[in-house]
Chains A and B, each alone.
Chain A
Amino acid sequence: MDELGIGYLMFSLFIIFVVIATANTVGHGILYLLAIIFAIIALALVAGMNWADSILYPAAMKLLGISVEPAKGYHVPKSQDAIVKNVNGLFYATGYLTGNVFAYRFKQESIGEDEDQQMADAPERWERTVMNIKFPFKFHIISAGREVQKVRDELEGKRSYQEYQLSRLMQSNSSNEMAITDIQRKIRMFQTQIDRIAQGEKPIASLMYVETTAVGVSEKAAVDLLSEQLRELQVSLSVLDLQMSRIVGRELYTIFKFNFAVPLTEASIASEFDRQG
């Protein structure tokens, strides 16, 4: 979470805690209980909007039946999972999937010996996947080169912090095997990334997403067909070790804007990188 997010969270939590602390001014009976219940609901909503807004926001919009027009001619239905355009009575619904290019974090722990073999197989696997897809789709990768020294320093800092955590855990009497293994795994992961840079690999930040469009004679028909296509893409792309999840809520608007302008700096897509692991 960034500084701004922490600031927003602190102010909001402060108000809720003041309400809880002063709830007894409404008495000690049922009214007090009601005040506390509402404060707890507010606390849950704030926590939900902070950590799970991609679930909470579409649910709220669906419940309230609110649709959004993000630009002229486009429309986001209340389910907040598609962008719909009506062209002469035909409805075009567009949806997105995003995922991690390196789906399994374990892969980052060691430089695989069979990496060359995997790379040699990749073109054929890709071609076979595309051949099985019988509807229009777009596969995008936004990449930006990162400063080598800065990335190396960051990784070394992270590795040092994990090493410090590990030594503290080793010294403590209640050593937790699971926690030690986890920290050791993280250290190996950072070390592998440092090694890769030392071997001459250029660090890049990347954001990958897949887009598909479905057509229907009604909005519902188009959105239903879109969901079907997205599910099919999820299955097809799993062959490439890609775990894809459907984009809903506010990220839908961000990705929709990418259609008309690619992000200008690495920092402007940093929040999207978080989601990509």
Chain B
Amino acid sequence: MIAMDKSMPLFLGLILVSAVFLVLAEAMPASIVTVYGKLVLLILSLGFDVLAFSSRHYSQIIGHMLKHPGKHVVLSKEEPYWISPSADSILRREGEDFIATVYVRIPLYKSATEMNPEEALQFSKQVSSMVGLNRDPIRYSVQLSLMNKDTYLQQVRDMINKSEASEAQAMEANSDQAAIERSKGGTAMWKRMLDNASKTQSLELITYASISAMGSKEFEAVSAAQQRAREIIAGVGTIFGISPTFITGDQLKSFIDPEYVIPTATVSEHMNAEMREEVI
């Protein structure tokens, strides 16, 4: 038996409209005037037929376009996720239910350059065992992201401001030349430091696993996901002899939101540095 699919009501509606146009075209008496009407009805019938078939995968988009014709289709106005009150998972609504997703950091710091062939083979086998660890779907990810230098860059910028202020003070107070030179030297040093920090992008590699579970209440979904994650922690810990940990709080965002994968201030400073270099 075919289960009721989400797209089926729209498909049935559109195929019905198509059939109605077809029947009207057939029922219309044939005369010189009505043949054009018949042709239009047949074309409409074919158009709705194609739309009906397309609704199999695109019901949301077609449904929205039929209700609100326009060039901008809004599938959802809701936030795609939110962090659970316990701050150890993210939540998403799926119909009446909730899906919680837990992230587990896998601290693997081994490098292939330090391994002999036997160790490398052993490591590959350990990775294979990890991938086949569980019956439930688990996502294993390796993420290369930009290191967040926002705070560091802000500190350097503050030092530049401080240094410039002291330089101006020294000049106003008609201090001796050596003091002015010292201030100028300090400012130049901090500016060079900002330049260097902005020019090079520092990348970090993180390995993590994520697993989801559904529940009719938020806490149900969270505790089910936590339970599954604990199984992964135990399994991965045994395979590699390491201690995977839960990722919590705002750290979760660095695996989901693009602006945390590439921190805004860090990348802006880098773009400015590139632009300055191009101008020069």
Contact = CB atoms under 8 A, between A and B. Distances in A.
Interface in B48-98: 49-50, 52-54, 56-58, 61, 65, 71-81, 90, 92, 94
Contact of B15 (A11, A74, A266): A11
A6 B205 CA distance: 45
15 contacts: A22-B26, A25-B25, A27-B30, A68-B74, A119-B125, A137-B144, A142-B137, A145-B135, A204-B132, A250-B58, A260-B90, A260-B101, A261-B212, A262-B139, A263-B212
Nearest to A137: B144
Interface stretch (A103-111, A121-129, A181-189): A121-129
Interface in B194-214: 201, 203, 205, 210-214
3 closest Cβ pairs, A-B complex: A92-B258, A123-B112, A71-B80
Nearest to A261: B99
Interface in A84-136: 85, 87-88, 90, 92, 94, 116, 119-124, 126-127, 130, 133-136
Contacts of B201: 134
Contact of B50 (A42, A70, A71, A202): A42
Interface of A: 3-5, 7-9, 11-12, 15-16, 18-19, 22-23, 25-27, 31, 34-35, 38-39, 41-42, 45-46, 49-50, 53, 57, 64-74, 85, 87-88, 90, 92, 94, 116, 119-124, 126-127, 130, 133-145, 202, 204, 206, 213, 215, 217, 250, 253, 258-266, 268-269
Contacts of B121: 116, 119-120
B39 A34 contact: yes
Given A15-B18, A34-B39, A92 B30 contact: no
Contact of A260 (B30, B35, B256, B267): B256
Contact of B258 (A42, A64, A126, A213): A213
Interface in B126-142: 128, 131-142
Interface string B103-129: 000000001110101101101110010
A120 B117 contact: yes
Nearest to B52: A12
Contacts of B71: 64-67
B2 interface: yes
